[in-house]
Structure 1
Amino acid sequence: MSSITEPSGNSGSAPFFSKQATVAKPGFSRWMVPPAALAVHLCIGQAYAFSVFNGPLTKVIGITQSSADDWSLTSLGWIFSLAIVFLGLSAAFAGKWLERVGPRRTMLTAACCFGGGFLVSALGVYLHQIVLLYLGYGVIGGIGLGLGYVSPVSTLIRWFPDRRGMATGMAIMGFGGGAMIAAPLSVALMNHFRSATSIGVAETFVVLGIAYFISMTIGALAIRVPPADWKPAGWTPSATSQSKMISRNHVHIDQALKTPQFYLIWLVLFLNVTAGIGILGQASVMIQESFKDTVSAAAAAGFVGLLSLFNMGGRFVWASASDWIGRKNTYFIFFALGAVLYYLVPGFAASGHIALFVLAYCVILTMYGGGFSTVPAYLADMFGTAFVGGIHGRLLTAWAAAGVAGPVLVNYIRAYEVAQGVAKADAYTMTVHIMAVLLVVGFVCNLLVKRVDDKHHMTDAQLAKGA
């Protein structure tokens, strides 16, 4: 267990929520930081479980069944979409601010936005004004998602230069696993508050908003950053550098946008996420249509739960493995293995091999989750750690774009195939083959990633000024 061996400067006299006040004092263990990050990521991971509210929200007025004045699923679908869009936008545009004010203030702001978004949404349910749900969970909550996602990750990277992948995997695994807590908790709360005049959603939103605010605030208060030039005891960069791709220099957040590496890694993340997110959203329907009269709705729900487990586990396993085999090689595996599996899946379905079908998608989902957790370490390797939080935030626009592209590809191509008379069991063949092609393109983009040119590196004087 490594601890601080340098003095922490004058952080004791700095304002409590300033960046200087979060500098760790001598004796502080870096292993206290992952729990602080998880306190945030387990909360914002609730986003993956928001669909449990869709059904009840269509019966706010009718209570037992939808009435003519109730909201439609189509209208409700925009709540989650807005949240993901504002996740990407807030992460991108708040990058410089994050680096300037530090993780504590950013995480507290995330707590206020995410928790407050639930409260505004609760008011929207009570008044039956869907605009307030768009504003509350979609816009305000989405901003909380973005700020809460990037700030702990950039801090972990600085604390674990020797295990960047493992560190980011620990936090982002929490984001993937947050839904496993949020889904049953939300259902239990709605059942508790349900009455003859209420479906229990507004009350559930209030409880969740307060609980998430408290948990995220605890994480914000516990977070610490290492002193300048801190390194783990006994560690030197050359001891763990698995390739020449790991830079010891730093690139400013604005300068990073002038490098081809940023856009290539943007495409790497976009293509990996696009190939997974559309399938994740249609997993239940897909397995039932691929194995008609064989897989029940209950079994399909189990399949979705299994995919979530592999999605979560892959975030830690693959990111940790990248510390040993390198980030670029990890993505090579994602794209090569993923393309092969997508190509084979239709054959598994046609031959009735359910076990192989399920196994293939479980492996694919580990790589989908692993893509999220490995990319922050990839960016730190390429651009250094000084501005990695802001650079990571801007890269997350790839997630927002993939969140639209993936479902559109799956849903519209399937609809087109069915309209052309293709059996539903075969309607996904073209889709998954297109996903395989996208992964091949991703393989090429990853291949083109090279070390950042020295002209983009910051000088010592620039680093000292933070400019």
Structure 2
Amino acid sequence: MASKNKWLMALAGMTLQLSIGSIYAYSVWIKPIELLNGWDAHQLKFAFSLAICFLGLTAAFMGKFVHSVGPKKAGLLGALFFGIGLAGAGFANSIGSLPVFYLFYGVVSGIGLGFGYITPVSVVVQWFPDKPGFASGLVIMSFAAGSILASQIISPLTGALGVSNTFYTLALAYSILMVLASLYLAVPSVPTGVVDYHSGGAHISASELLKDVRFYGLWFMLFFNTTCGIALIAVAAPMAKDVIHITEAASIIFVGIIGLFNGLGRLIWSSISDKIGRWSTFMCFYIIGTICFITLTQTTNPLLFQVAVFIVISCYGGAFATIPAFIKDIYGSEKLGSVLGYVLIAWSAAAFVGPWLITLSSDYTSIFWLFSGILAITAVMAFFLKSKMVNTENATTIVK
């Protein structure tokens, strides 16, 4: 195999994530689909939850398969399922069938999301053995960038082409991008300089992980952080209007900046984790998040309120980018894809729990107190798990 460039490999991984990251622009679809078919926002939001659910389930239970077929074929499968899912969503809108929409957008594209999410992360990290946090952050940052890009093009396209044709157009465009990116993906063909003391089989079964307290630590550390962050994302615009009384135009800008901090947080925090360690980085998420949510209970100052939200979202994104490197530190690079798949079920669960928690009260202040308590308790849990989470953190070393 001809020698491949690690930066082009990173670009290929970023392209895959950029494409599937369009799922996070789903809220932009709601209004035009409502106008076309009369389906209400509650019905439509379920399709998004389904997609994230099947992302996590696919990542969890297809990890062994992904490793066996290799990153190129796994990426191509992601392109196939994601493209068919979007095209099928367009067909569902053309015939006015909500169940068909759930099937294609929720289930089929969700399977594509699962293949497209774990494949580039597990590959690119191996090409940057000295900076795994930076590598995973670079790739996963593109997921957030994809949501920003999609949010800017969906509305103009639906206005010009209609809902169904926009789905068909995006299905074709994203499929082409994902296929081209997947064809370049490959694991390093020469030693990377990493001595991996955890090598011993690329797959870890669910039964093995369920006996490992480190897995529970990783799962719940990601789950609670994601629950609080995804809840804010779900209600960002109406929350800002209700609490700090900003205008509709200002709320759109607010949501856009949230996307920016989501993306930047993934690169910045994961790079920081290369310096201070993964456990310390997650502790920063919980401590900073607790302080920010308490601040949100005490202020109606528009600037301070928005800054606190942006910081929370940066930690939300940062956790996604840091968790692959955390898993690599504990289980080794060969088992990264397998373990990451199971840990990402936490994302699936949080996609339902976070938005549900925020509906428990019409008073945002009480919700902010709840989230500050959740993060504070998670920090205590992480503190007691420290010896389990960091005793192998530096076991993967660089041979000088």
Instruction: Sort the TM-score into its range (normalised by shorter chain).
Output: over 0.9
- Is residue 444 of structure 1 aligned with residue 380 of structure 2? yes
1:179 aligns with 2:147: yes
**1:299 lines up with 2:275 in the alignment:** no
Report how many residues are paired. Answer: 387
Distance in 2 separating the partners of 1:453 and 1:118: 41
Report the equivalent of 2:179: 217
Asked if residue 284 in structure 1 is aligned to residue 237 in structure 2, the reply is yes
Is this contact kept in 2: 1:332–1:443, CA < 8 A? yes
User: Aligned partners of 1:71 and 1:429: how far apart in 2?
Assistant: 31
What's the CA shift string for 1:84-104, capped at 9, x where partnerless? 111111111101111111111
Structure 2 counterpart of 1:272: 225
Look up the match of 1:72: 40
Structure 2 match to 1:190: 158
5+ residue gaps in structure 2? 392-400
Q: In structure 2, which of residues 185, 189, 192 is the aligned counterpart of residue 231 of structure 1?
A: 192
1:242 match: none
Q: Sort the Cα spacing of 1:362 and 1:453 in 2 relative to 1 into closer, same or farther, 3 A.
A: closer
Cα separation, 2, equivalents of 1:71 and 1:430: 31
The residue number in structure 2 matching 1:258 is 211
Letter in 1 for 2:31: G
Structure 2: how far apart are the matches of 1:231 and 1:408? Answer: 44
The TM-score with structure 2 as length reference comes to: 0.93
Which aligned segments of 4 or more residues in structure 1 are displaced greater than 6 angstroms?
A: none
Give the aligned residue type for 1:288: K
Distance in 2 (alpha carbons) for counterparts of 1:302 and 1:332: 30
1:35 has 2:6 as partner: no
Deviation at 1:208, TM superposition (A): 0.4
Unaligned runs of 5+ in 1: 1-23, 62-69, 194-199, 238-246, 415-426, 455-467
Supply the distance in 1 between the matched residues of 2:389 and 2:138 (Cα, whole angstroms): 27
Higher relative contact order (CA 8 A, sep 6+): 2
Q: Percent identity?
A: 35
Q: Offset at 1:452?
A: 7.3
Within the alignment, does 1:318 sit opposite 2:255 as a pair?
A: no
Distance in 2, matches of 1:265 and 1:250, equals 20
- Whether the 8 Å contact between 1:339 and 1:437 is mirrored in structure 2 is yes
- Distance in 2, matches of 1:388 and 1:53, equals 34
Q: CA deviation at 1:369?
A: 0.3
Supply the distance in 2 between the matched residues of 1:75 and 1:184 (Cα, whole angstroms).
23
2:275 and 2:214 mapped to 1: Cα distance?
Answer: 22
Q: Which residue, 157, 165, 176 being the options, matches 2:125?
A: 157
- The alpha carbon displacement at 1:125 in A equals 1.1
Structure 2 residue 29 is the aligned partner of structure 1 residue 53: yes
Aligned-partner Cα distance in 2 for 1:45–1:103: 19
| Cα drift, residue 453 of structure 1 | 11
1:52-103 Cα distance to aligned partner (Å, 9 max, x none): 1111111225xxxxxxxx3222222211111011111111110111111111
Residue 324 (structure 2) pairs with residue 365 (structure 1):
no
- Render the CA deviation track for 1:327-363: whole Å, top value 9, x for unaligned: 11101111111111111212122xxx22111111111
In structure 2, relative to structure 1, the CA distance for the partners of 1:39 and 1:341 (3 Å cut) is: same
- Residues 41-50 or 121-130, more deviating: 121-130
Give the TM-score, by structure 1 length: 0.80
Partner of 1:71: helix, strand, or coil? Answer: coil
Q: Is the 8 A contact 2:327 2:340 kept in 1?
A: yes
Distance in structure 2 (CA, Å) of the matches to 1:214 and 1:399: 27
- Compute the displacement of 1:250 (Å): 3.4
Residue number in structure 1 paired with 2:51 = 83
Q: Does 1:432 align with 2:383?
A: no
Look up the equivalent residue of 1:409 and give its one-letter code. Answer: L
- CA distance in structure 2 between the aligned counterparts of 1:284 and 1:72, rounded to whole angstroms: 18
| Conserved 8 A contact 1:264-1:449 | no
